[in-house]
């Protein structure tokens, strides 16, 4: 067994490429998780009063700590996940450093109090504004596939919004989770503002049940459902970033060379273990053969091996459980009549590298796929690229939307207006035109799925808004007169309220002005009553 070893009180983290144990961490109990949440609540009372400038200084110095240990962190991520060091740098560390500087510099402006135009109410001396209050304790439960950038990016955004944070890293990547805690500690963050609780699903569930003020979850649909059920008990809100079965649509006027390169990267980077990996490629009939040939040629040129070798492009998968799903799906494709053009098995030449199992699965290109085949509907999360052919735009859109998932998609075409038209018809949270997969790396843009790919958003202004609660402050600048709609009612009140419905509620200043005599009569009535009572 080359994957994580869970014991009652500790977890041994294992390098999936070599099978070597690389560290031991505690398997936190429910009580330990609960105690962390309680400490976090106390820390929040001070943290929420810090200024944006203070928060920015901490986040920016956390960046400096990362920059000071770039290679060490990249190597740790590579060893715990199996991904190439190059990918840890390009797809995790660089994007999260960019997100950190963006949110540190931009949060104050994005969370500045906002005035609301009140229309006719402002003539009555009323004004309204929204101020953004932090939530409190934010519990982050990430997956193992981007164990550094996803929880760290969410933590940086939560901190800038004035929240405290608890991260429960995946049991497959606990050392990377602890590294995030160490980075904030070195950056001088006050105690308990960011805490890491290591453990498996039980620790995650304990965190949800401890009722933090928000859960930011990244993982499978099955776990997302359990989290929602646990969160319902105390009505804890949750953002869910779930699975994908992302479609790439290539029209016959696309740049085929570029589309082939893009497909190979988006299907096989991180051994296909990205939520937004291309898992279904739909190509227009006229260019299907040419695109497929190019994809196969480029796939066969990829070097597979241990991720710390700088020439390696595809490394080991994360776990036996994950590689077993890939084997099942490739088998199902074969049985359903699809053709395995390259790959389709574990890489026997690398089997000896691992002291435990054999987690290298060859990048696999499959032709003759169609949506009726089971693995075209279930998430594979592995290095497979099934290709299906379509005739026209209508068919391409229908095929792409025929899925329970809707995280991202891409449209490849030389005609930008077609690109835009098709993009808007695809049911997915992000659709790229002549681009693929990488926008999670642009922290400024929102991230999240349609359908079963998720609920809510991370990243971007939309993601920041998930980490605050808008508070409406309403002021009466003329606090002298009783409101006409206050008690007690009378026949003149009834007549005025009739006008409220027919004139004031029309939004027209002219029509509203016609009700002024009635308004004055009613106000005099209320003032008389006030005097009479004295």
Among 305, 344, 454, 460, binds ligand NAD (CB under 6 A): 454
What's the min distance (Å) between Cβ of 321 and ligand NAD? 8
Residue of closest CB approach to ligand NAD:
204
C-alpha span between 409 and 242 (Å, rounded): 15
C-beta of 206 vs 519, nearer to ligand NAD: 206
Task: Report the candidate in 201, 210, 190 with the shortest Cα–Cα distance to residue 168.
Answer: 201
Tell the smallest beta-carbon distance from residue 70 to ligand NAD (Å).
Answer: 23
Contact assessment for residue 180 and residue 151, using Cβ atoms and an 8 Å cutoff: yes
Among 58, 381, 390, 438, binds ligand NAD (CB under 6 A): 381
Interacting residue with ligand NAD among 218, 299, 315, 410 (CB under 6 A): 218
CA–centroid distance for 471 within its chain: 24
Q: Which is nearer to ligand NAD, 8 or 311 (CB)?
A: 8
Considering only 5, 126, 226, 521, the residue that binds ligand NAD (CB under 6 A) is 226
CA distances from 230 to 30, 151, 158, 183 (A): 14, 21, 22, 31
How many angstroms separate the CA atoms of 274 and 271, rounded?
8
Nearest to 202 by CA among 439, 86, 31: 31
Is position 227 an interface residue for ligand NAD (rule: CB under 6 A)?
A: yes
For position 91 contacting ligand NAD by CB under 6 A, the verdict is no
Nearer to ligand NAD, 170 or 299 (CB): 170
- Judged on CB neighbours under 10 Å (0-12, 13-18, 19+), 461 is middle
Q: Any alpha helices (H) in 210-284, and if so which ranges?
A: 221-233, 256-268
The CB-of-150 to ligand NAD minimum distance in angstroms stands at 6
Residue 80 makes contact with ligand NAD by CB under 6 A? no
In terms of Cα–Cα distance, which of 491, 423, 471 is closest to 248?
423
Of 171, 241, 362, 379, the active-site residue reads: 241
The span of 120-128, 163-171, 469-477, 497-505 binding ligand NAD (CB under 6 A) equals 163-171
Say which of 80, 171, 275, 362 is annotated catalytic. Answer: 275
Asked if residue 157 binds ligand NAD (CB under 6 A), the reply is no
Distance CA 197, CA 203 (A): 8
Beta strands in 226-356 (DSSP E): 238-241, 246-250, 278-284, 339-342
Q: Is 145 in the site for ligand NAD (CB under 6 A)?
A: yes
275 binds ligand NAD (CB under 6 A): yes
Among 3, 27, 81, 223, binds ligand NAD (CB under 6 A): 223
Told to check if 167 binds ligand NAD by CB under 6 A, we report no
275 catalytic per annotation: yes
* Shortest distance in whole angstroms from residue 92 CB to ligand NAD: 12
Interaction between residue 171 and ligand NAD (CB under 6 A): yes
Structural element, H or E, at residue 463: helix 460-465
Ranges within 475-504 binding ligand NAD (CB under 6 A): none
Check residue 246 for interaction with ligand NAD (CB under 6 A): no
Which residues are registered as beta bridge partners of 278?
Answer: 246
* CA–CA separation, 119 and 122 (whole Å): 6
> Residue 435's CB: how many other CB atoms inside 10 A?
15
- Both ends of the chain: CA-CA distance in Å? 86
Binding mask 322-361 for ligand NAD (x = CB under 6 A): ----------------------------------------
Q: Which is nearer to ligand NAD, 202 or 500 (CB)?
A: 202
Question: Is 72 in contact with 89 (CB distance < 8 Å)?
Answer: no
Closest CA relative to residue 145, chosen from 86, 91, 196, 184:
91
Count of residues in contact with ligand NAD, rule CB under 6 A: 30
Binds ligand NAD by CB under 6 A, chosen from 241, 246, 279, 362:
241
- Sort residue 337 into left (φ over 0), alpha (ψ -120 to 50) or beta: left
Beta bridge mates, 21: 14
Q: Taking CB under 6 A as the rule, does residue 377 contact ligand NAD?
A: no
450 binds ligand NAD (CB under 6 A): no
220 makes contact with ligand NAD (CB under 6 A): yes
Footprint of ligand NAD (CB under 6 A): 141-146, 168, 170-171, 200-201, 204-205, 208, 218-220, 223, 226-227, 241-244, 275, 379, 381, 407, 449, 454
Q: Catalytic positions, please?
A: 241, 275
């Amino acid at each position: 067994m080359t994957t994580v070893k869970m014991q009652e009180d500790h977890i041994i983290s294992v390098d999936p490429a070599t099978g070597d144990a690389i560290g031991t961490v505690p398997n936190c109990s429910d009580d330990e998780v609960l105690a962390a949440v309680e400490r976090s609540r106390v820390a929040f009372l001070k943290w929420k009063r810090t200024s944006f400038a203070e928060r920015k200084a901490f986040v920016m110095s956390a960046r400096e700590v990362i920059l000071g240990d770039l290679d060490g962190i990249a190597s740790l991520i590579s060893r715990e996940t199996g991904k190439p060091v190059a990918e840890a740098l390009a797809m995790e560390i660089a994007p999260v450093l960019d997100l950190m500087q963006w949110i540190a510099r931009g949060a104050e402006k994005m969370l500045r109090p906002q005035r609301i135009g009140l229309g006719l109410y402002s003539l009555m001396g009323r004004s309204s504004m929204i101020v953004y209050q932090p939530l409190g304790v934010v519990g982050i439960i990430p997956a193992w596939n981007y164990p550094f950038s996803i929880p760290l990016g969410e933590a940086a955004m939560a901190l800038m919004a004035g929240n405290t944070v608890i991260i429960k890293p995946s049991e497959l990547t606990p050392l990377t989770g602890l590294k995030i805690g160490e980075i904030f500690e070195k950056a001088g963050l006050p105690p308990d503002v960011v805490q890491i609780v290591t453990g498996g699903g039980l620790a995650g569930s304990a965190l949800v049940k401890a009722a933090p003020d928000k859960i930011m979850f990244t993982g499978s649909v099955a776990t997302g459902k359990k989290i929602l059920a646990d969160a319902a008990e105390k009505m804890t809100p949750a953002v869910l970033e779930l699975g994908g079965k992302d479609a790439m649509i290539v029209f016959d006027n696309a740049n085929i060379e570029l589309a082939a390169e893009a497909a190979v990267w988006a299907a096989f980077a991180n051994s296909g273990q990205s939520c937004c990996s291309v898992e279904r490629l739909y190509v227009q009939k006229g260019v299907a053969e040419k695109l497929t040939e190019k994809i196969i040629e480029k796939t066969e040129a990829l070097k597979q091996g241990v991720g710390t070798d700088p020439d390696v492009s595809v490394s080991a998968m994360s776990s036996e459980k994950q590689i077993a799903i890939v084997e099942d799906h490739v088998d199902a494709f074969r049985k359903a009549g699809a053709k395995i053009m390259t790959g389709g098995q574990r890489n026997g030449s690398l089997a000896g590298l691992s002291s435990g199992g054999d987690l290298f699965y060859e990048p696999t290109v499959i032709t003759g796929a169609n949506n009726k085949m089971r693995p075209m509907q279930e998430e594979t999360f592995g290095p497979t690229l099934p290709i299906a052919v379509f005739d026209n735009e209508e068919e391409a859109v229908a095929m792409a939307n025929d899925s329970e998932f809707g995280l991202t998609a891409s449209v490849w075409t030389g005609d930008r207006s077609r690109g835009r038209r098709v993009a808007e018809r695809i049911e997915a949270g992000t659709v790229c035109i002549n681009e693929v997969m990488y926008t999670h790396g642009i922290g400024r843009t929102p991230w999240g799925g349609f359908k079963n790919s998720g609920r809510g958003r991370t990243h971007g202004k939309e993601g920041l808004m998930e980490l605050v609660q808008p508070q409406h402050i309403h002021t009466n600048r003329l606090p002298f007169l009783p409101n006409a709609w206050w008690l007690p009612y009378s026949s003149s009140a009834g007549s005025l309220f009739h006008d409220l419905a027919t004139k004031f509620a029309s939004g027209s200043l002219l029509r509203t002005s016609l009700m002024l005599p009635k308004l004055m009569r009613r106000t005099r009535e209320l003032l008389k009553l006030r005097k009479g009572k004295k």
